[in-house]
Amino acid sequence: TVRIWQGSEDGKYDCRHILKDHTAEVQAVTVHATNNYFVTASLDTTWCFYDLSSGLCLTQVEDPSNSMGYTSAAFHPDGLILGTGTTGATVRIWDVKSRGNVANFDGHTGAVTAISFSENGYFLATAAHDGVKLWDLRKLKNFRSFELYDQDTPTNSVDFDHSGSYLAIAGSDIRVYQVGSVKAEWNCIKTLPDLSGTG
């Protein structure tokens, strides 16, 4: 299920809608730039496009050629492109209006756990078991890879900040990279250690 909660002035949240269009676990929710729509992505091999205020599913997209479930999803800043990560290590790019699969990125190992578009819209960061990869959306190529952890430690999350100047990567610790020149300099400026067990 997917639940839409609405906050009130007293700080409490009410569940306004419970959505049951998926038939397997929902792994990702991403909100459109207009804040009017959102997409959910599920292990049932579909993604759904919803109206946020009404909770209505406007379309459910199933790709007959794809037997892989979705493990992550994110809207491009312009709202016209959707990125999804799959259980089969492939990153799939969609045209939101036509609901067509317009590009695929292969090269990861394991499920794609997180994806993040840069605010300028030119680059995509993806995380999976083998680390983080950066993709040039204009050339449709992988131009940098970060393999930060040992083989048994997956990379769980990756996120650009709104300025596009920083990239945070999370695995057994959290590392923040500063982007000097996108294609050249990536300096690790902060490592936040593993805090599990310390409260």
152-180 pLDDT, tens digit each: 888 999 999 988 889 999 998 999 999 87
State residue 41's pLDDT score: 97
Q: How far, in Å, are 56, 85, 111, 180, 181 from residue 89 at the CA level?
A: 30, 7, 5, 29, 27
Q: How far, in Å, are 23, 35, 60, 82 from residue 56 at the CA level?
A: 16, 15, 11, 19
State residue 181's pLDDT score: 73
Q: How confident is the model at residue 143 (pLDDT cuts 50, 70, 90)?
A: very high
State residue 175's pLDDT score: 95
Contact 62, 49 (CB under 8 A): no
pLDDT tens-digit readout, 14-68: 999 999 999 999 999 999 999 999 999 999 999 999 999 999 999 999 987 778 9
Phi, psi of 192 (to 5 degrees): -100, 115
Q: How confident is the model at residue 199 (pLDDT cuts 50, 70, 90)?
A: low
State residue 179's pLDDT score: 85
Residue 122 has pLDDT above 60, yes or no: yes
pLDDT tens-digit readout, 68-114: 999 999 999 999 999 999 999 999 999 999 999 999 999 999 999 99
Measure the CA dihedral 139/144/150/151, to 10°. Answer: 20
State residue 194's pLDDT score: 75
Q: How far, in Å, are 4, 83, 98, 121, 133 from residue 101 at the CA level?
A: 27, 10, 9, 18, 20
Residues of the chain above pLDDT 90, percent: 81
Q: How confident is the model at residue 182 (pLDDT cuts 50, 70, 90)?
A: low
d(CA 120, CA 26): 28
Average pLDDT, integer, range 180-197: 80
State residue 184's pLDDT score: 72
Average pLDDT, integer, range 169-192: 87
Sign of CA dihedral 122, 126, 131, 133: negative
Domains and CATH numbers, the chain: 2-159 (2.130.10.10)
State residue 101's pLDDT score: 93
